[in-house]
Structure 1
Amino acid sequence: MQDYVHWFRNSSPYINAHRGRTFVLLLDGHALQHQNFTNIINDLGLLNSLGVRLVVAFGVRPQIHQRLALQNLTLSYKSRRPVISPEVMECIKDAAGSAAIDIQARLSMGLPNSPMHGASIRVTSGNMITARPLGVIDGQDFGHTGLVRSVNCDAINRQLDDGAIVLLPPVGFSPTGEVFSLSVEEVATQAAIELKAEKLIVFSDQAGLLDGENKLIRDMSPREARQMLDQMDETLPLYSTLQAAWQASRFGVKRAHLISYQQDGALLEELFTRDGNGTMITQEIYEQVRDASIDDVGGVLELIQPLEDQGVLVRRSRERLENEIDQFTVVELDGMIIACAALYPFMDEQIGELACVAVHPEYRGGNRGDLILQHIEKRANRMGLNELFVLTTHTAHWFRERGFDPAGVERLPQSRQELYNWQRNSKVFVRKL
C-alpha cells in the first residue's frame, strides 16, 4: 500500500505535465493481436481521462497476410516495398476496417468492475490522411502502394479538442477518390511531426534498445539513434520502429519512446515514472550535469538532508545554502536533483575544497559521482587551482579509488585549519589536478 501511495504522489508532476499534450501512439498489427492489448486499451482510457490528447496509428500487416492466405493471394515486393494490386488492396481495406472497429469497440467498453467503467470515451476516424501513389519506379508499377502527402491537422485537432481519441488506419485517400496502402510507421511519424506532438510512443516486441552488454539504453540523442540505425540490419522489425522514432525526433517531436506491447503497464511506467522502462530519444538533455542556481536550493536540501541526519554530511541551513549555491554543481534528471557537490576555492593557496558530495540512493552505481567530480575538476582548472582536498568520515575508500591521497590537517589552507572540527575527526585527502 505504501508503495502505491508513494508512486501515486510522485506521478502528479507527470499528470500535470501531460495534461493537454498531444501524444501519437504507434501500434503495429502484432500489438493488436497480443494478449496484452486489452491492458493497453485500459491504459489509453486512463490517459484520456487524465486529459492527454491521443492519436493512435495502427498497423495490420499480420491481419493482411491472414486474409491473403484465405484467398490464395500473394504479395510481391520490389526493393522491400510491396506491390499492391486491386485484389490485395481489398484485403487491406478489410483488415484495416475490421481492426478500426475492434479498437473502437474495446475503447467503448464500460462494464462495472472494469478499468473502463464510466470512461465514456469517444473514438473517431476518417479520411484524415491524404496520400499519393508511389508510382512507377525502374519500370515497376507499385499499384496501390502509397505515401503520405499531408495530414489534416485541423480536423484531428478539432476532434482532440472535443476529448475524442483519433484513430489513424494505415490507409490514405487521394483527391481523386483512390485508396492507398501506407506504412503505419510513416503515418505515425508524419502525424506526430505535422501535429507538433509532444511525444511519439512506438510499441514494439521488445522493451527499447539494448547496448553491447544487453542492457537497456534509457535515453539517447537523435544523432546516437542515427548511428545505431546505420549499424542495424534493415530487415529487422526494430529497424522500422527506431527509424520512425528517429525521424520524428529529427523533425521537431521533443521525445520519442520505444516500449514493449508485451509488458503490462509499460505505457504508464514510461510516462509516469522518472526512469521509465523503455528507450527515449530526446532532443533535450534528459540528464545533465550543470552549475547550480538559486532555483536548485530546495532540491539540494531534499537530497542532502538524509545524509546530514546520518552524520555523513555537515548540516547546512537553507540560508547558508542560498548564499553558497553558486559553489555547487548538480546532476538533474528530468527536473529532479539526484546528485550534487560543492567547490570552495582558496585562491591564495591555489587549492579547492570538494565538499557536500551526495548522490540519491536510487541513482547510485551509475557513475554519477564520477561525472560530478569531472565537472568540479573542470571548474577548478578554470579557476587556476592546482589541487583539491576533501574531508570525509564515511567515504574514504571512494576518494582513494579516484586518486585522492591521505594527508594531515596541516595540508589544509590556514583558514580551513582554523575551522577544522576535531570532534568530528574527518579524514583529509588531497589530489593534484
Structure 2
Amino acid sequence: MVISDQDSIRLFRSSAPYINAHRGKTFVLMFGGEAIEHANFANIIHDIGLLSSLGIRLVLVHGARPQIDQRVVLRGISGRFENDTRITDKPTLECVKDAAGSVRSHIEALLTMGLPNSPMHGAQIRVCSGNLVVAKPIGVRDGIDFENTGHVRRIDVEGINDHLNDGSIVLLSPMGYSPTGEVFNLSHEDVATQAAIALSADKLIVFSHWPGVVDRQGKLLRTIELEQLRNLIESDEIETEGSVLRALSTSVANDIPRAHCISYEKDGALLEELFTRDGTGSLVLRNHYEQLRRASIEDVGGILRLIKPLEESGVLVKRSRERLENEIEHFNVIERDGMIIGCAALYTYPENQSAELACVATHRDYRGKNRGERLLSEVIDYARSQQIKRLFVLTTVTAHWFLEQGFVPASLDSLPSEKQALYNFQRNSKVFELTI
C-alpha cells in the first residue's frame, strides 16, 4: 500500500494529541531475549529512540533467557529449572553475566547508531545502566537451593530519576546486586514490574510473541479490566505467555494506570499502540468501580437520568422511555457503583456498511477521564465485527470532540437514504464520518 504525502500529513496531525499527552511521562518497556533475537528488534530500537526524542522518559528492561541457554549448552553445563525458574549455580552465573553483558552492549550499540540512512541519525541518545537494582536470594524452597537466583529487593529510584532527568534512557539487565557484593540472576519480569511500581510509571509496555493478550479462541482482547484478566489467567483461557500476563496484572494491581501488551514481531507496533486511537495490542486497566458493558432493560432509568440534562439543553434529541426501552439493545453503558455515568448507541445500516453513532453522553461529574473515548472504542470494535466500514454522527454542539477522535465533516447526501428522510432541518445538525 502506497501512502501519499497527504496521508502522512493526516497521520502526523492525528498523532499530535498523543505526543503532547506522553511528553514528560515515564514508560517502562519490557522485552525478553526472544525479542532481541528477532529480525524486527532493530526497528523497535529505532522507535524507542523516536520516543526519547519526543520527551518520553524511558526505562528499558531486557531479558536474556535464550542467550543464557546458548552459553550453558556451549560450556557443557547441565541447566536446572524448578517451576520454570533457573537454578543459578556458580558456573551458570558466569553464563548469565556473559549473556546479559552481551545483550546490554548490543542494545546500547543500536541506540547509539546514527548513520545518515538510519532513523536515529543525529539523535544523540545517551544510555545509562549500572547497579540500579538491589537483589536478594530466593534461598531454599522445598529443599531446593536456588543459589544465585534472586528477587528484586529494591530499585534505586533516585539514581534512575537522575538519569531520566538528564534526558538519558535507562537500561536495566536481569541482574541485581546485594550490599555484600554478590550478583544474582533475576527474571526480567520481576525487574520490569518492580521498576514500574517503584518509579510510579505512567505505563508498562510489554513485548510478546503474541499480538497482545490472546484467548484460547485466538481472539485479541483489546481492553481488559484487571479482574477479567485475573479470571482468564486462573481459568487458563489465555495463549499469551505467563511472564507477560504476570507483569501486566502485577503492575496494574500496584497502581500503574495502564499496562500494554504488543507484538515484538510487528514493525511499528510500539508507535501504533501509543499514537493511534485504536492501538494495535492489548490495554489492561484496573477500573475498580467502573464497568463498560452492553446495556440491558434495567439500565433504562439510569440512561434517562444521564441524558435528561443534555436533552433539556438541546445537545441531544429527546428520547421517551418507551423509545429507549425499544432501542436498548443498541446501547453500551459505563456503570460506576450502580450508577450509569456514560452511554453511547449504535444504529447499523448493513446494506450501506455504515452505522450511526448516537446519544454519546458522559455524566458531568465524570468528564475528562477518557470515558467518551472508551465508549467510542467499544462501539468501533462492535461495528467492525458487524462488517461496518463507516461511522457517521449528527451533532449540533460537540463537533470539536468528534473531530478530535478522527471524524471528518461530511455532507447530508452521504447519509443512508433512510436517515436522510428523517433528518431534522430545524436542528440543522452537522454531519461527520469516520472510516473504520
CA drift at 1:104: 0.5
**Counterpart among 48, 61, 65 of residue 65 in structure 2:** 61
Distance 1:166 1:340, change over 3 A: same
Whether contact under 8 Å (1:330, 1:339) holds in the other structure is no
Structure 2 residue matching 1:73: 3-state secondary structure? coil
> d(CA) in 2 for partners of 1:242 and 1:363?
23
Q: Which residue of 1 aligns with 2:30?
A: 26
**Counterpart among 176, 179, 182 of residue 175 in structure 1:** 179
1:283 to 2:286 alignment = yes
Instruction: Name structure 2 gaps, 5 residues minimum.
Output: 296-302, 317-340, 346-355, 362-374, 389-415, 427-436
- Aligned counterparts, 1:241-320, within 5 A: 241-284=244-287, 291=306
**Counterpart among 131, 136, 159 of residue 140 in structure 2:** 136
Whether contact under 8 Å (2:344, 2:360) holds in the other structure is no
Distance 1:240 1:421, change over 3 A: closer
**Counterpart among 157, 161, 165 of residue 153 in structure 1:** 157
**Aligned amino acid, residue 9 of structure 1:** R
Aligned residues: 329
CA drift at 1:365: 1.4
Q: Which residue of 2 aligns with 1:186?
A: 190
> d(CA) in 2 for partners of 1:293 and 1:173?
61
CA-to-aligned-CA distance 1:176-209 (integer Å, 9 cap, x gap): 0000000000100000111000000000101012
> d(CA) in 2 for partners of 1:164 and 1:294?
50
CA drift at 1:330: 4.7
**Counterpart among 394, 413, 416 of residue 418 in structure 2:** 394
Whether contact under 8 Å (2:216, 2:237) holds in the other structure is no
Whether contact under 8 Å (1:23, 1:200) holds in the other structure is yes
Q: Which residue of 2 aligns with 1:111?
A: 115
Instruction: Name structure 1 gaps, 5 residues minimum.
Output: 302-327, 333-337, 344-357, 370-391, 397-419, 423-433
Structure 2 residue matching 1:62: 3-state secondary structure? helix
**Aligned amino acid, residue 66 of structure 1:** Q
CA-to-aligned-CA distance 1:208-240 (integer Å, 9 cap, x gap): 122454222110011111011112289x76111
CA-to-aligned-CA distance 1:359-393 (integer Å, 9 cap, x gap): 89966616899xxxxxxxxxxxxxxxxxxxxxx97
> d(CA) in 1 for partners of 2:229 and 2:382?
26
Distance 1:294 1:45, change over 3 A: farther
> d(CA) in 2 for partners of 1:76 and 1:158?
38
CA drift at 1:32: 0.5
Structure 1 residue matching 2:243: 3-state secondary structure? helix
Structure 2 residue matching 1:394: 3-state secondary structure? helix
CA RMSD of aligned residues (A): 3.5
**Aligned amino acid, residue 341 of structure 1:** C
CA drift at 1:168: 0.5
> d(CA) in 2 for partners of 1:233 and 1:341?
35
Whether contact under 8 Å (1:208, 1:216) holds in the other structure is yes
Q: Which residue of 2 aligns with 1:208?
A: 212
CA drift at 1:136: 1.1
**Counterpart among 31, 36, 39 of residue 40 in structure 2:** 36
> d(CA) in 2 for partners of 1:293 and 1:161?
48
Structure 1 residue matching 2:60: 3-state secondary structure? strand
Q: Which moved more, 1:221-230 or 1:172-181?
A: 221-230
Q: Which residue of 1 aligns with 2:407?
A: none
Distance 1:359 1:123, change over 3 A: closer
Whether contact under 8 Å (2:93, 2:185) holds in the other structure is yes
CA-to-aligned-CA distance 1:40-81 (integer Å, 9 cap, x gap): 010001000000000000000000011011100121122332
**Aligned amino acid, residue 80 of structure 2:** S
- Aligned counterparts, 1:202-241, within 5 A: 202-211=206-215, 213-232=217-236, 238-241=241-244
Q: Which residue of 2 aligns with 1:426?
A: none
Distance 1:233 1:212, change over 3 A: closer
CA-to-aligned-CA distance 1:290-315 (integer Å, 9 cap, x gap): 846999xxxx89xxxxxxxxxxxxxx
1:93 to 2:97 alignment = yes
> d(CA) in 2 for partners of 1:219 and 1:88?
40
CA-to-aligned-CA distance 1:295-347 (integer Å, 9 cap, x gap): 9xxxx89xxxxxxxxxxxxxxxxxxxxxxxxxx96549xxxxx943289xxxx
> d(CA) in 2 for partners of 1:6 and 1:294?
35
TM-score scaled by length of structure 1: 0.69
> d(CA) in 2 for partners of 1:272 and 1:139?
50
Distance 1:158 1:367, change over 3 A: same
**Counterpart among 11, 14, 23 of residue 10 in structure 1:** 14
Distance 1:421 1:75, change over 3 A: closer
Whether contact under 8 Å (1:122, 1:164) holds in the other structure is yes
TM-score scaled by length of structure 2: 0.69
Distance 1:71 1:292, change over 3 A: farther
Structure 2 residue matching 1:118: 3-state secondary structure? coil
1:341 to 2:344 alignment = no
Whether contact under 8 Å (2:212, 2:240) holds in the other structure is no
Whether contact under 8 Å (1:216, 1:279) holds in the other structure is yes
**Aligned amino acid, residue 244 of structure 1:** A
> d(CA) in 1 for partners of 2:231 and 2:139?
31
Structure 2 residue matching 1:365: 3-state secondary structure? helix
> d(CA) in 1 for partners of 2:37 and 2:136?
29
